[in-house]
Amino acid sequence: MKNDSNTRAAGARYENVALAHLEGAGLVFIARNYNCRYGEIDLVMRERDTVVFVEVRYRRPGGFGGGIDSVHAGKRVRLIRTADTACRFDVLAISDGVAADSPSLDWRRNAFDAF
């Protein structure tokens, strides 16, 4: 069983990596870990006039599929219900890079649609 505090600390660390990457690409931070009765959205950003909901996924190499693939149909439905507004859904997958301090990022803009 995973240690919950270690898992949360790792999640926060990779969300920080994702946030820095997105802000570097020009997106503006709105909120982090937005919660409602339907679920949670890791990062809420704005790109020009578009609200962008970002799911951040970290996967170790050799695991079961990549971070992009881990956002399955059920997770997409929960994210869509949580968003409840006109928006774009992105997924930012993070995996270990060649150097320990430089993870590999795979940012999929408009990763899935609400309809």
Give pLDDT tens digits for 42-95.
999 999 989 999 989 887 656 565 666 666 677 777 777 877 777 899 999 988
| Coarse DSSP helix, strand, coil percentages of the chain, rounded to the nearest 5 percent | 30, 40, 35
CA–CA distance, 97 with 78 (Å, rounded to integer): 30
Tokens of 28: 């503006």
Q: Which residues contact 3 (CB under 8 A, 6 or more apart)?
A: none
Per domain, the residue ranges of the chain are 4-112
Rounded to two decimals, the pTM is 0.73
Q: Which two tokens stand for residue 22?
A: 């997105």
Candidate CATH numbers 3.50.50.60, 3.40.1350.10, 1.10.3720.10, 3.30.360.10; the one for domain 4-112: 3.40.1350.10
Strand partners, 82: none
Q: Are 78 and 42 in contact (CB under 8 A)?
A: no
